[in-house]
Structure 1
Amino acid sequence: MRASERVRVRVRARVRECERVRAQERAQESERQRVSARASQCGRDTSESARESESKNVQERERESARERVCEQEREQASERVRERERERERERQRARESASAREQERAQESERQRVSARARERARAQERVRERERERESERMQERARERV
């Protein structure tokens, strides 16, 4: 399993845990409301109970809000880690492209050097042929002069 998949699994597990806790809190609140309703029906003084219940509700909402902020932070951190890994992979791909481009450029330069070298060798051979023909002509002229003297 890849690292990003493991992070997603952990994030989903945290989200499920947050949702489970919220559901449990809603069930507890429901139970408190049922108890409060029964107390009202029994003629019990509910104003104190209502104040306590409201105070508990406020505290519970604050705790739920804090838990939600923690869950949101964890999701954001996981997302940032995924984004950072993607940026690192992109940097790796860029380095690979640059490396391939440099290798291709080196191959092209080497090929050009070989072509230049081959042309230089061919020019040298051509010049040598010209000099050889010149020597042959000079030799023929000298032989011709020698024959003319005789």
Structure 2
Amino acid sequence: MTTHSLSGREREKDEEEEERRRRRDEEEEEEEGEEEEEEEEEEEEEEKEREGRGEVEGKGEEGEGRNREEKEEEEEDEEEGK
């Protein structure tokens, strides 16, 4: 059946359905974008927290000293193991 053979009401229903689908798709895309943005923000926050605790090498006020100590301990352990 072609668009030409549809009655005016049927054509209107099809257009309304298409519009609903389009809006739903747009809303889903927007939600996905917001979720991705939230995840990125959470990851950045977690990294900042790790930096503050010295879990990220060479970052954080106290973390730098702790990482250096941990490296030295690891090197000593490796030397003792040889």
TM range (shorter): 0.5 to 0.7
TM-score by length of 1: 0.35
- The size of the alignment, in residue pairs, is 58
Q: Displacement of 1:117 after TM fit?
A: 0.2
Considering only aligned residues, what root-mean-square deviation do their CA atoms show, in Å?
2.3
Q: In the alignment, residue 48 of structure 2 is paired with which amino acid?
A: R
The amino acid of 1:120's aligned partner reads E
Instruction: Give percent identity, aligned residues only.
Output: 19
Match of 1:129 in 2: 44
Q: Which runs of 5+ in 2 are unaligned?
A: 55-59, 69-82
Aligned to 1:92: 7
How many Å separate the matches in 2 of 1:133 and 1:146?
A: 16
Of structures 1 and 2, the one scoring higher in RCO (CA 8 A, sep 6+) is 1
Give unpaired runs (5+ residues) of structure 1: 1-88
Whether the aligned pair in 1 keeps the contact of 2:53 and 2:63 (CA below 8 Å) is yes
Structure 2 counterpart of 1:96, one-letter code: R
Cα deviations across residues 26-78 of structure 1 (Å, max 9, x unaligned)? xxxxxxxxxxxxxxxxxxxxxxxxxxxxxxxxxxxxxxxxxxxxxxxxxxxxx
Is 1:118 the equivalent of 2:54?
no
Secondary structure at 1:107 match in 2: helix
Residue 58 of structure 1 is matched in structure 2 by none
CA pair 146-109 structure 1, distance change in 2 beyond 3 A: closer
* Superposition pairs of residues 1-150 of structure 1, within 5 angstroms: 92-139=7-54, 140=60, 141-144=62-65
CA distance in 1, matches of 2:65, 2:13: 68
1:123 is aligned with what amino acid? E
Contact 2:51/2:63, CA 8 A, preserved across alignment: no
- Specify the SS of the correspondent of 2:7: helix
Which entry has the higher C-alpha Rg, 1 or 2?
A: 1
